[in-house]
Structure 1
Amino acid sequence: MNNPLIFGFALVAFDVAIWRCAIPKNEVARLLVRLCVYAALSSLLFNSGLSPFSKAPYADSKPLHVLGQVLEIIWWLMGARLLSLALDTLLLPKTWRRQRLFQDVFGALVFLAAVVAALGFVLELPVRGLVATSGALAIVLGLAIQSTLSDVFAGIVINTTEPYHIGNWVAIDGVEGKVLEMNWRATHLLTSQGNIVIVPNAVAAKAKITNSSRPPTLHGITILLEITPEARPGTVLAALEAALAGVRAVIADPAPYALVKRTSAISVTYEATAYVDDMSKKLAVTNELYDLCYRQLEAAGVALRPLGAGYAQPLAAAAPETDPRMHLLRRVEMFAALTQDELKRLAPLLSRRDYERGDTVVTPDKVLDQLTIVDSGVLSVVAEDASGPVEVTRLGPGDALGEAGLLAGMPARVTISALTASTVFQLNKDDLTPLLKDQPDVARLMCQMLSRRRDTLDKLGTPTPVAQSEQSVFQWLLDGMRKLHDLTF
């Protein structure tokens, strides 16, 4: 066997080894090595008379003639493959490469041209007749796979206009999900239920597309609430604005807002809209906003109306509390274990205080000797971190503060100020002591809530001064409360 054939097949084997072993690891470097191998193979073939543009020599030896033809056909196919790889690696944008549509379509066209060229130049077959026959066959196949071709061309349009990318959260033709894959036929979406939905490109090209990932740092949240028409719109809107101000994850620009959406004989629909800077926050913020709207509306004395409820059937069928302080105590989590009689005994002991926006309610060095319960408005809790002040949380109707001083005689360690005009009710330590003696469950619940807040502050670098390191914060608070209030349980 002549040396050109041996060296030619050796170069082909070397190229296959580079492809299979992915050496070198860098994609561009690997492509350059393969191009050098292809250049060496081309030089070998043209210098030895094995031109891919003519029939192979060795007419007197059929095995050598066949091997020469095989090597020339491989040259055409290698060139087609390297041309498609060069286009994909060096010219196409990264987003197009991830979608692979252009690479697949261009690769198919290049390989088809290489096959036709190999048949015409190497095997000397009648290419004109083959092309004419293949054209008629292509028409028949085109009619048979018309829907598939529609998906292919729609995919080209989608990849060119780029209405969405892989990883975006989109809604296409009523289906909402995360884009996992974009190929020549369809877009693959991962829904919130964990299902894969395949949307054909022809459907996506004609459908209305909502891309929730653009712009990347602005995502809107809108909730609708049906309120009894007996409630004054100004009161409802003020409550909804307070609820929007109570969500810490909501960004300030664009500003959140509330408005009257529509009215009917049985209800008035209000819309509250806010914005977050991360798509992953939408679910948690939506749920928090619903909860705060309910609490702020309840604090304002406004009843939500369920769908289908008649005008003469308001939500609050039960008789309202005559004392608003009783209604407030019912909303406080730590007093859930109290009976009706115990709440009635506790309610007259509450005293009211009003704060304007920007007023300071608690300073870090102050030891509170009363329990403060938010009746309406929003309070901001700010702690000092190594980098400066950090907002820890926001308090709304039904939230309580001051347990640290009330239970263990500790300073607040935070600054609490009014974000909106707020009303609070306060319960003195001496008035709370009989309740703690009669209701140990309430005392433990208060310690649990305070220990959770202490954990949050500990992460900010202001640790709770627990006397013994092996003692839990909860147990330390419980022991301090027993000592401060002279409890025996």
Structure 2
Amino acid sequence: MTNPLIPGLAIVAVDVVVWRARLPANDLARLFIRLALFFLFSWVLFSSGLSPFTQAPYLDVVELHWLGQVLEIIWWLMGARLLTLSLDTLLLPRAWRKQRLFSDVFGAVVFLAAAVAALGFVLELPVRGLVATSGALAIVLGLAIQSTLSDVFAGIVINTTEPYAIGDWVTIDDVEGKVVEMNWRATHLLTGQGNTLIVPNAVAAKAKITNNSRPGDVHGLSLVLEIEPEARPKTVLDALGRALTGCNVILATPAPYARMKRTTANSVQYEVVAFVSDMNQKLAVSSELFDLCYRHLASADVALRALGVPAPAVTSRDEKEALLKRVSLFDSLSGEEVTRLAKCLSRHEYQENHQILAPDTVPDSLSIVHSGVLSVSIAESESSREIARIGPGEAFGEAGLLAGLSMRVSIATLTPSVLFQLSKDDMTSFLKDHPEVAKQMCQLLAYRQDKLGRLVTPMPAAQKKGHTLFQWLLETVWNRHSLNDESENK
């Protein structure tokens, strides 16, 4: 081939189009096309005597000579780029390709070598002097960018040892976040507040790193509670153990546990540790578990108070009244009304695995959990499935007591439990004086029927016409408890 400039430039143009337009979309197919173009480009150059290892010919025609020089330099740069892409696509693991560190560093070295080779072979510049000068310059630059170089080498160590990867939830220097990018300088974390935190690789390499995503199916969470030193440790640990039992979202294996962590001048620290299968559950489960700990400690008469402040004077109080004040159903009652209703409560103690409510039965009383954990299950084909667990301060049975609806669930104790129950006659007498409580109970029942309608007997279709669920329930309660006269007076 006498003049390779035109086909050479055409091949380079096609390669640029393939590179910039990303045609085809598949990375591997695009790489092979570019490799084929490079080999064709090399054949065109070498077959016409235009070698990248010597100066270009056409010394008598300056324009052709410089175009040949440009093609030879492009050959070196194109070869360096394809060598980098081949290593990145064919040899590096997928995790390393995502992190880009090795490919970036290797690409920089290859391009530097290609540039030096092009200067030496194509332009015939004194490379030895250039290398010596660049060595001195490199020492000066190295001293000036020590921190950047330390980040680069630390990044190489991190990518080699792989303490974390993109997508992992990690804690670096007490900062937790999701790894969204790893490059030659830093690791980028997406924190729980939605902010991006940039941790230099040199800092990450020296820090204590906790990878919360390994193993992938177990993620721990920990709560530290400071309890007044007057509380007996066994009482506190038993209450915390019941709180762990009451959370059915945590894993049974590894087993959750509660322990006394340490003592201080003002309190005793207790730690509650549990495990979940999904990292995204940690925040919600931590909040739920803290609420359970609070309620079970309150049922055990362990007060949570501001530390460093003297404990309040012990005053006698009725446990029934204290329980009613923790039930949201009776928030609107005054102190005298709570005292009157508390006198109607009867105490019942149950051992572990005792069935409180059988499926398809109509509860004749309202039950309020004082202590312990109960399991709510629903029958499915030949087995049953647990759908919830209830603990101190929660009530059940209002569907049967108020509207005569049967429950499709089974409720049994998981731990020794204490319940206080309010019978239908006592409830009727109380509702006649406080019909606003009946409305609140109907609202609660309507909400549960709307969310968990299949757990109780559906509302009769004949009653649905022209009525909302709340209206039908309210009419049913008024009739069932003979509140018609009182409603008119109200």
TM bin (shorter chain): over 0.9
**Structure 2 Cα separation of the partners of residues 271 and 369 of structure 1:** 40
Does the 8 A contact of 2:405 with 2:456 survive in 1? no
1:465 corresponds to 2:451: no
Counterpart pick for 2:472 among 460, 469, 476: 476
Deviation at 1:264, TM superposition (A): 4.6
Deviation readout 1:75-129 (Å, 9 max, x if unpaired): 1111111111111111111211111111110111111111111111111111111
1:359 corresponds to 2:342: no
Q: Secondary structure, in 3 states, of the residue corresponding to 1:349?
A: coil
Deviation at 1:370, TM superposition (A): 0.6
Deviation at 1:266, TM superposition (A): 4.0
**Structure 2 Cα separation of the partners of residues 452 and 430 of structure 1:** 25
**Structure 2 Cα separation of the partners of residues 98 and 320 of structure 1:** 65
Deviation readout 1:203-255 (Å, 9 max, x if unpaired): 11111112222222212222222223332222211111001111121110111
Task: Assess, with a 3 A threshold, how the Cα gap between structure 1 residues 92 and 387 changes in structure 2: closer, same or farther.
Answer: farther
2:286 corresponds in structure 1 to 286
Q: Secondary structure, in 3 states, of the residue corresponding to 2:472?
A: helix
**Structure 1 Cα separation of the partners of residues 468 and 387 of structure 2:** 22
**Structure 2 Cα separation of the partners of residues 264 and 138 of structure 1:** 56
Counterpart pick for 1:402 among 388, 393, 397: 397
Deviation at 1:270, TM superposition (A): 1.8
Deviation at 1:28, TM superposition (A): 0.6
Q: Secondary structure, in 3 states, of the residue corresponding to 2:452?
A: helix
1:450 corresponds to 2:445: yes
Task: Assess, with a 3 A threshold, how the Cα gap between structure 1 residues 217 and 469 changes in structure 2: closer, same or farther.
Answer: farther
**Structure 2 Cα separation of the partners of residues 357 and 98 of structure 1:** 53
Deviation at 1:43, TM superposition (A): 1.1
**Structure 2 Cα separation of the partners of residues 443 and 461 of structure 1:** 21
Which letter does structure 2 place at the counterpart of 1:480? T
**Structure 1 Cα separation of the partners of residues 479 and 202 of structure 2:** 74
1:241 corresponds in structure 2 to 241
**Structure 1 Cα separation of the partners of residues 322 and 222 of structure 2:** 29
Does the 8 A contact of 2:409 with 2:455 survive in 1? no
**Structure 1 Cα separation of the partners of residues 83 and 433 of structure 2:** 85
1:43 corresponds in structure 2 to 43
Q: Secondary structure, in 3 states, of the residue corresponding to 2:347?
A: strand
Deviation readout 1:415-472 (Å, 9 max, x if unpaired): 11111111111111121113223323322222222233223434x7988335227744
% identical aligned pairs: 62
Q: Secondary structure, in 3 states, of the residue corresponding to 1:416?
A: strand
Deviation at 1:386, TM superposition (A): 6.8
Counterpart pick for 1:342 among 337, 357, 362: 337
Counterpart pick for 1:319 among 315, 320, 326: 315
Q: TM-score, normalised by structure 2?
A: 0.94
Does the 8 A contact of 2:237 with 2:258 survive in 1? yes
**Structure 1 Cα separation of the partners of residues 465 and 171 of structure 2:** 52
Does the 8 A contact of 2:350 with 2:417 survive in 1? yes
**Structure 2 Cα separation of the partners of residues 47 and 385 of structure 1:** 79
Does the 8 A contact of 1:404 with 1:410 survive in 2? yes
Task: Assess, with a 3 A threshold, how the Cα gap between structure 1 residues 482 and 93 changes in structure 2: closer, same or farther.
Answer: same
1:57 corresponds in structure 2 to 57
Q: Secondary structure, in 3 states, of the residue corresponding to 1:60?
A: coil
Does the 8 A contact of 1:101 with 1:183 survive in 2? yes
Does the 8 A contact of 1:363 with 1:415 survive in 2? yes
Q: Secondary structure, in 3 states, of the residue corresponding to 2:271?
A: strand
**Structure 1 Cα separation of the partners of residues 419 and 334 of structure 2:** 22
CA RMSD of aligned residues (A): 2.0
**Structure 2 Cα separation of the partners of residues 324 and 61 of structure 1:** 106
1:486 corresponds in structure 2 to 482
Does the 8 A contact of 2:369 with 2:393 survive in 1? yes
Q: TM-score, normalised by structure 1?
A: 0.94
**Structure 1 Cα separation of the partners of residues 226 and 41 of structure 2:** 76
Task: Assess, with a 3 A threshold, how the Cα gap between structure 1 residues 292 and 51 changes in structure 2: closer, same or farther.
Answer: same
**Structure 2 Cα separation of the partners of residues 233 and 280 of structure 1:** 32
Further displaced range: 466-475 or 168-177: 466-475
**Structure 2 Cα separation of the partners of residues 472 and 96 of structure 1:** 60
2:202 corresponds in structure 1 to 202
Q: How many corresponding residue pairs? A: 483
Q: Secondary structure, in 3 states, of the residue corresponding to 1:108?
A: helix
Which letter does structure 2 place at the counterpart of 1:479? E
1:428 corresponds to 2:409: no
Deviation at 1:361, TM superposition (A): 1.0
Does the 8 A contact of 2:54 with 2:122 survive in 1? yes
Consecutive unaligned residues in structure 1, runs of 5 or more = none
**Structure 2 Cα separation of the partners of residues 17 and 190 of structure 1:** 36
Task: Assess, with a 3 A threshold, how the Cα gap between structure 1 residues 40 and 462 changes in structure 2: closer, same or farther.
Answer: farther
**Structure 2 Cα separation of the partners of residues 118 and 417 of structure 1:** 82
**Structure 1 Cα separation of the partners of residues 481 and 450 of structure 2:** 24
